[in-house]
Chain A
């Protein structure tokens, strides 16, 4: 490149590097540092990344619309290896360690570094009295590095590096309190379930490389065009579905969502950052990045949309009956992620990213505020033991209320903008999907306000001892809450719907990055906008939301006895939902225990066959051969020696008999000899005479 890129655009590679350096510092000598030094270093590096991200963003805006791409390659990671694609073309397998800043990734880095920085600040207060302070921030910074690599990657392989990195950090941070068995189990579960998704993702990458001859994002579009793939080509569909498998793992959709509720074992800042604002959104980001592939695979998109909608409904139903404040938020996250995939599935990728951004604000805020509540309640997380806290922890209360209004989708709050956009696009595509999303929105409003009412309003059900210690959190925790609350209010205004007079700036900003839908798709889109206009849809959703809030107020403020009665009358159904539809148990029986059985079988094979026949068998064989050899040695070799000795002994026997030490027996022998001699002599003489 001849033209020197502007300062920040030239240095986008530093954005992930700052947290990496501090993570390394924590690794090498974090133990020796004091807490406040750790805080300064780690939060500071994230702030620095944020500054660079903001700078890069504005400099990107400075570029003309069609040229808003800035690339930076640090080094050749995988050098070019020539190979033949499935189609017979000669291609190069090459993956540089490359960074790419375009509208999509700029939005992502702003969210990641911005919300990430606020959460780092919050964590300095929240984790102040916990052990392993430097370790926590080391992991957190390592996560920031991985996530930023993921979103800044210019090819699938570097993205996958970040993908794996965030998974590892998630495991490390969920199991931060590793001496608690439930925490370490949750970490393992998260990582293992993630791995299943990753397998699908890897297969997708392999197929992409084999089919299209490239893994670089910018080259996928031209490769698809050059390959003249038909709309709905099964190979493309396969790639899209495989990528989506990876997304279900990382972004907790059906069927791989089960790790997210358990991940609440981690400290609350972790839940906020990783499982609300950033990591779980990696799946949505990845689907959007590869939108070119999805646009050619309508079946895959239908699958994405259906699963997204189903997950949204399914998770919301479980969120309604949970009593742990963080668990409610966890299911809410799964549900909102479902919305994002619903958006991508109906082709509204920008709406999905928009919701990703607003969700980062209000869900991050919700988790941080919940952490503040838990902090005030000396560690209590069960909402049944809370109540009437609104006056006691006002800042927490008001910020959480703002976030709840946002998530419920009250007009002009951040959530409304994005959710409305999604529902609108869904309606254009398929009325059933819209209906599911619509009903789920009502449930969302219901259970979120249930949370607010149970926690902050009504009668105080707080434990007596806990009540004495209720106090507002320190400033380090409150200031991020306030900032995020502000963002929850104004965050949606970047894309005010045109129909209400806005200019949808956000949507337009992202458009150049998203692939255009295939012509065939555009034609088959149901012109549903003719049936119900956007305004009508908005009014409908608002109505349902208000209904949900009112229902919650009725059940948890007015008639607090009712929830119990409804639960008992619904009996079995209630218990099923409360136990999360027993999905974990089903998975255990179907897969987990089968895998354990395989492990046991292999272990038994190893012990009995390999160790038994092989090792012990070899030992037994050696001993047997040794015994045989010993027998041979004893009986044959020694035997021949002893045989010789015995023969000698045998011959010596008569001689031994003769030599008895008695003179008279020797005399007897003399006489015998004499007799013999005389007989012989006589014989001779007789012969001579004769």
Chain B
């Protein structure tokens, strides 16, 4: 039991810490690296929740795919100029306050309902054949969303190519 908490605490702190750092860095590359850190921490949370497939997917896809993409694009835009400029916009105070208000609202809801969430009695064991279970669910119940997602990816791919290619 204690290991659960410790692991959770560790990954949670890493996630929050990385994300705060990410949002506040001047250098975009640093922000990207910190995001990678946050994503890795999240992956750890996933594992801690015994979702092995998503743990792997998170690392391969998110970190290995998306973040690499981000870093590529960061390289293509002019970093040096933007690093010297003001980093936060005019509405930072209002925005910050409002975001905290939002957070506070949800926090309030959480606080009111603390302890209400209980695990149902028979804890169905999901973890041993997690990947199989996901595969089954994906190709049986969620076939349509799966196909739509693939079309979505196709469209996104075309769109990205069209957007980013040089006009010759």
Chain A positions within 8 Å of B, measured between CB atoms, are: 662, 664-665, 668, 671-672, 674-675, 678-679, 682
Contact = CB atoms under 8 A, between A and B. Distances in A.
Interface in B64-105: 89, 91, 94-95, 98-99, 101-102, 105
B13 interface: no
B91 A671 contact: no
Given A662-B89, A664-B89, A675-B98, 15 more contacts: A664-B91, A664-B95, A668-B91, A668-B94, A668-B98, A671-B95, A671-B98, A671-B102, A675-B102, A675-B105, A678-B105, A678-B106, A679-B105, A682-B108, A682-B109
Nearest to A667: B95
Contacts of B89: 662, 664
Contacts of A668: 91, 94-95, 98
Interface in B102-123: 102, 105-106, 108-109
A682 B101 CA distance: 14
A675 B101 CA distance: 7
A665 B98 contact: no
A672 B98 CA distance: 7
27 contacts: A662-B89, A664-B89, A664-B91, A664-B95, A665-B91, A668-B91, A668-B94, A668-B95, A668-B98, A671-B95, A671-B98, A671-B99, A671-B102, A672-B98, A674-B102, A675-B98, A675-B101, A675-B102, A675-B105, A678-B102, A678-B105, A678-B106, A678-B109, A679-B105, A682-B105, A682-B108, A682-B109
Contacts of A678: 102, 105-106, 109
Q: How large is the interface on B (under 10, 10 to 19, 20 to 34, 35 or more residues)?
A: 10 to 19
A665 B98 CA distance: 12
Interface of B: 89, 91, 94-95, 98-99, 101-102, 105-106, 108-109
Contacts of A674: 102
Contacts, number: 27
Across chains A and B, which 9 residue pairs bring their CB atoms closest together, nearest first? A678-B105, A671-B98, A675-B102, A668-B95, A675-B101, A668-B91, A671-B102, A664-B89, A674-B102
A551 B63 CA distance: 159
A664 B108 CA distance: 26
Contacts of B95: 664, 668, 671
A385 B95 CA distance: 125
B113 to A, nearest CB: 10
A126 B88 CA distance: 121
Contacts of A682: 105, 108-109
A674 B105 CA distance: 10
Contacts of B106: 678
A399 B80 CA distance: 136
Nearest to A669: B98
Nearest to B92: A664
A473 B94 CA distance: 129
Contacts of B105: 675, 678-679, 682
A679 B91 CA distance: 22
A97 B108 CA distance: 133
